[in-house]
Structure 1
Amino acid sequence: MVLDGGGETSSLLGDEDAPPVVEQNPSGRSPFLLTSDHFGRAIPRRLGDLGLPESELTRHIALDIGIAGVARALSERLDAHLIAQRYSRLVIDCNRPFTSPGSIPLISEATTIPGNEGLAREAVEARRREVFGPYHRRITEVIDQRLRDGIPTVLLSLHSFTPVYAGIKRPWHVGTLYQRDSRLPPLLLSALRAQGDLVVGDNEPYAVSNETDYTIPVHGEARSLMNTGIEIRQDLIGDQSGQGQWADRLGAIFTEIEATLRAQGLLPV
């Protein structure tokens, strides 16, 4: 086990812990491959509560609130394969490079994470090996198999964001995040803006970069896949009704985008 404060033995996850990878609809026929890096808020039993009260473990610092429901419903709407990660981003953030200070955060927003202080190298490696590693290996395996089988693949990285961060209100309802892909993000931005009732962020509230992100740079850009990140404001998807509404909205949008990509010759007809 790996103990709070940096103690060490051979492993982090025990028999009582669930595996880190969550999948839905692996035989889905959609070209869209859905990922969700901050899907869950589980903490390995051997880490206890990371020294935090339950009130902190249900906040946005621990997971992307509401995105699990949206991701599952969107997987159904699109008939798309979903690969998600069930452990809290406070254990290890599966959308951060290891060199990022946010990989295993010592502080998130204004909250200090006692269970992440003073970790021994072996404790850090256990989190990387047993949580981060299996999740990203599975995404790699799925993309490899799809490419071998000639299945077109478009990466959608699903996230949600808090309406207020560090006391600053965020006006956007939804944002499109990207770095180098000039094919998919413009189509998504146009479709979202055409809805008429949304404040749409263009690389807001975050922008993708190699220094701050992992999933899009590694699985999208490095593989030359069309890709985009999607951020939905958490107060819009805090309950099942909102999650379903956003899955319906995005399902319709991406169905139209798929048809456009096929018409443009970017996906096979």
Structure 2
Amino acid sequence: MIETLPPLLAADEPPPYSIENAHGASPFFLTCDHAGRRIPRALGDLGIDQRELQRHIAWDIGAAGVMSHLAARLDAFAIAQTYSRLVVDCNRPLESPTLITPHSERTDVPGNENLSPAQRQQRIDAVFRPYHARIEAELDARRGAGRPTILVTVHSFTPVYLDVARPWQVGILYHRDARLAHALLRLIRDEGEWVVGDNEPYSVSDTSDYAIPVYGTQRGLANVELEIRQDLIADADGQAAWAGRVAAWLRSAAAAAGVL
């Protein structure tokens, strides 16, 4: 017997994404896959303490604020995902074992254990697919209009991971197309002020990531994933300061790489 479930999101709950600067005129196209930390009411608290939902395991602290400032500074279209990555991770392929993870860092997530196929699909249909359908629609429209697009995905990372300190203040991540990323790395290193990671503290792959492989590589768009350390962007002042810095870097690097 096929299990059927009601829609995951109630009518009065927020949609799975929000848009900023919908008519942004620049080539820059911003996404923030881990912007939010909401849990649909139907899922309760996923069996974890509320304090855990303040941590990085639930969202990318500060990333949404940086993206918002970047959208304004660059006159860029921006889309942010509303719900916690613990509900479903919108930067994972559907076949990834961490799409709906039962364990994050040292925290068990009981509400993600032993999901039925229908429960798994319910989360994909409610959050993952609408978010990505909106991105695809916007990219298709830009391509149809002959508009150039530079994909920039905005993330943040913890200063310490599993007791190991991370020295970088910002990470520049890339996949097969490194034009923009390499130009950014050169620019930031030449400034001599920041410790910058070259595909650190993470690297991008077809099996661990979605946005860069699917929207960057497969569509042939110049792209980069930005990772900023969370202690630098935990408050509004830090988010604004880093957005200003990153906006200048992106403009200069895109020009140097010949993608602007």
Task: Give the TM-score category using the shorter length.
Answer: over 0.9
Number of residues of Structure 1 aligned to a counterpart in Structure 2:
258
Please state how far the C-alpha of 1:257 moved relative to its aligned partner: 2.6
Per the alignment, residue 83 of structure 2 pairs with 87
Distance 2:13 2:191 in 1: 42
Are the counterparts in 2 of residues 177 and 207 from structure 1 also a CA contact under 8 Å?
A: yes
Are the counterparts in 2 of residues 178 and 227 from structure 1 also a CA contact under 8 Å?
A: yes
Distance 1:177 1:38 in 2: 16
1:176-202 C-alpha deviation (Å, 9 max, x unpaired): 111100311111111221232110000
TM-score by length of 2: 0.96
TM-score by length of 1: 0.93
Distance 2:141 2:213 in 1: 19
1:54-101 C-alpha deviation (Å, 9 max, x unpaired): 110000000000001101001101000001101000000000112212
Per the alignment, residue 136 of structure 1 pairs with 132
1:218 aligns with 2:185: no
Per the alignment, residue 47 of structure 1 pairs with 43
SS of the aligned residue for 1:194 comes to helix
1:155 counterpart (143, 146, 151): 151
Distance 2:196 2:233 in 1: 16
Distance 1:8 1:51, change over 3 A: farther
Please state how far the C-alpha of 1:8 moved relative to its aligned partner: 5.8
Instruction: Point out where structure 1 has 5 or more consecutive residues left out of the alignment.
Output: 1-6
1:39-68 C-alpha deviation (Å, 9 max, x unpaired): 000111111111111110000000000001
2:153 partner amino acid: S
SS of the aligned residue for 1:87 comes to coil
Please state how far the C-alpha of 1:253 moved relative to its aligned partner: 1.1
Distance 1:241 1:248 in 2: 11
1:150 partner amino acid: G
Q: Give identity over the alignment, percent.
A: 52
Per the alignment, residue 3 of structure 1 pairs with none
Are the counterparts in 1 of residues 5 and 122 from structure 2 also a CA contact under 8 Å?
A: no
Per the alignment, residue 109 of structure 1 pairs with 105
1:208 aligns with 2:175: no
Per the alignment, residue 229 of structure 2 pairs with 233
Distance 1:47 1:21 in 2: 18
Please state how far the C-alpha of 1:259 moved relative to its aligned partner: 3.3
Are the counterparts in 1 of residues 183 and 254 from structure 2 also a CA contact under 8 Å?
A: no
Distance 1:171 1:178 in 2: 19
Are the counterparts in 2 of residues 8 and 120 from structure 1 also a CA contact under 8 Å?
A: no
Per the alignment, residue 164 of structure 1 pairs with 160
1:233-253 C-alpha deviation (Å, 9 max, x unpaired): 001101111101100101111
2:15 counterpart (5, 9, 19): 19
1:60 partner amino acid: H
Per the alignment, residue 141 of structure 2 pairs with 145
Distance 1:195 1:112 in 2: 42
RMSD (CA atoms) = 1.2
Per the alignment, residue 177 of structure 2 pairs with 181
Distance 1:26 1:127, change over 3 A: same
1:107-159 C-alpha deviation (Å, 9 max, x unpaired): 00000001111211111001001100011111111110001111100100110
Distance 1:162 1:118 in 2: 29
SS of the aligned residue for 1:159 comes to strand
Distance 2:186 2:24 in 1: 26
Q: Could you tell which deviates more after superposition, 251-260 or 152-161? A: 251-260
